[in-house]
Structure 1
């Protein structure tokens, strides 16, 4: 058996280059404007999802501040 480590930096860098090449191929195939519209739409949807989660997590009653006074 080999003792090679998984997840080393050169391997991650290689896969990042593959991902960048995939994005370049998608842009070349679909067109720059189309890809920018899709990315903008995904960003808006993601922001809306995060805003909905943040609004849903608000407590009904505000948390009481703990204040201690010295006697």
Structure 2
């Protein structure tokens, strides 16, 4: 005679309930954490974007304006 193991199916059901409860707790507590992480990530990305634009603006400065400024500076030194 074959006997079914006692407690096998209820154990799986119990662990499934525990897993569902864990996921529900993570979702409930993760809302605030996710919001803070998203806000921090956006701030870092925005800061990097602004810094990159400033660096590119410095590198792409107008060569004529730089030459004129150098001439003006040298003229002031001579006078």
Largest Rg, 1 or 2: 2
TM-score, normalised to structure 2's length? 0.40
* Structure with a larger share of its residues in helix: 2
TM-score, normalised to structure 1's length? 0.44
The structure showing larger relative contact order (alpha-carbon pairs under 8 Å, at least 6 residues apart) is: 1
